[in-house]
Amino acid sequence: MQYPLVSIVTVNFNGSEDTLEMIDSLTKISYPNFEIIVVDNHSQKDNPRIIKERYPSVVLYESNVNMGFAGGNNLGIMRARGEYILLLNNDTIVDKGFLEPLVKKMQSDPKIGCVSAKLRFYYDRSIIQFAGYTPIDHRTMRSFAIGYREKDTGQHDTDKETPYAHGAAMMVSMKVIKEIGIMSYIFFLYYEEADWCYRIKNAGYTIWYIHNSLVFHKESIAVGKISALKIYQQNRNRIVFLRRNVCGKDFYTGVFYQIAIAIPKNALKYLFKGKLSYFYAYVRAIGWHLKNIVNPTIHDNPYL
């Protein structure tokens, strides 16, 4: 196979030790032609410069503001030189041969716009986190990871099309990025890669899960399992995604379900439990949309 340059982009936010562990695993891979770009999202409890000190060949960009997942990755993409861009979470460890199957699949068909690795959990490396996605339900605005929490016995060892890639380890060709643009800044955190995949598919490209590319994921170290930030961003961005990508009857059904049923139900649950910060996170999520009901920037797609 040919070995085109792959630009590996990762975002660091108060997690340099995890980033260093991820980079260490990349130094041991068998693929011979790649660059590593680390975007620090204005870490306040961390010194990202230790990354450059330990790995001088890494391109380190220090943002003076926290741009979120979408904005941080966009900064990395803007500095990338590769034919392919691999977005890789900083809380991952890669298998030695994980990159070749991704590149080989991309090279096999010009209509493949994006590929995603198989993810297993870092702390139990026999358990699957991601082996493809189901489509997003336009009412609940949720999808499910295929194979989630299953023991990996080879049941998902076939490449297959998937509606969305997983943002923890997804590769997109620079050709496609130049055509459809970079990720929307409106999201900040959550749903940005699903929205990007929608745009990739709408441009006529396919998205694939690659079974023999293996990445181990620590999962949500930066945000935590549950927090007011996570609740706010997830619920706000579900509706942002809906507003950007769903139309007709499905749009009105989805908006009604989110604002009249799902969000109030979950918010009241936390209110009754006395978890006021979580309750207000739901209220703020709806409030953001009321304030931005006619905001045209919701539909903006930035380009390189």
Average confidence (pLDDT) over 69-88: 97
Q: Which tokens is 217 given?
A: 């994921």
Of all residues in the chain, the percent with pLDDT exceeding 70 is 98
Mean pLDDT of the chain: 95
Contact between 168 and 123 (Cβ < 8 Å): no
Number of H helices, E strands in the chain: 10, 10
What confidence category does residue 220 fall into, taking pLDDT thresholds of 50, 70 and 90?
Answer: low
pLDDT, tens only, 257-267: 998 999 999 99
DSSP state of 135: P
SS3 for 113? Answer: strand
67: pLDDT strictly greater than 90: yes
Does position 33 have pLDDT exceeding 60, yes or no? Answer: yes
pLDDT-derived band at 223 (thresholds 50, 70, 90) equals: very low
pLDDT at 217 exceeding the cut of 90: yes
Cα Rg, the chain, nearest whole Å: 19
H-only helix segments in the chain: 16-26, 49-54, 68-78, 99-108, 174-180, 192-202, 228-245, 248-256, 263-272, 276-291
For range 152-169, the mean pLDDT: 97
Residue 224's pLDDT is what? Answer: 52
Q: What are 132's two structure tokens?
A: 């493809």
Burial label, 213 (beta-carbon count in 10 A; 0-12, 13-18, 19+): buried
* pLDDT interval class at 219 (50, 70, 90): confident
pLDDT at 71 over 50: yes
pLDDT tens sequence across 119-158: 999 999 999 999 999 999 998 999 999 999 999 999 999 9
Tokens of 17: 């030790």
Structure tokens, 110: 């010009």
Measure Cα distances from 200 to 6, 18, 110 in Å. Answer: 19, 30, 13
Which residues, at least 6 apart from 215, have a Cβ–Cβ distance to it below 8 Å? 88, 92, 93, 94, 95, 98, 117, 118, 119, 120, 168, 169
Q: Look at residue 60 and tell me whether its pLDDT is greater than 70.
A: yes
pLDDT at 226 over 90: no
DSSP 3-state of 210? strand
CATH T-level topology, domain 6-217? Spore Coat Polysaccharide Biosynthesis Protein SpsA; Chain A (3.90.550)
Instruction: State residue 302's pLDDT score.
Output: 96
Is the pLDDT score of 236 beyond 90? yes
Q: Which residue type, as a one-letter code, is found at position 257?
A: Y
C-alpha 229/C-alpha 87 separation (Å) is 23
Q: pLDDT of 271-287, one tens digit each?
A: 999 999 999 999 999 99
**Per-residue confidence (pLDDT) for residue 221, from 0 to 100:** 46
Task: From residue 6, give the alpha-carbon distance in Å to each of 34, 81, 218.
Answer: 5, 8, 23
The residues facing 38 across adjacent strands are: 10, 60
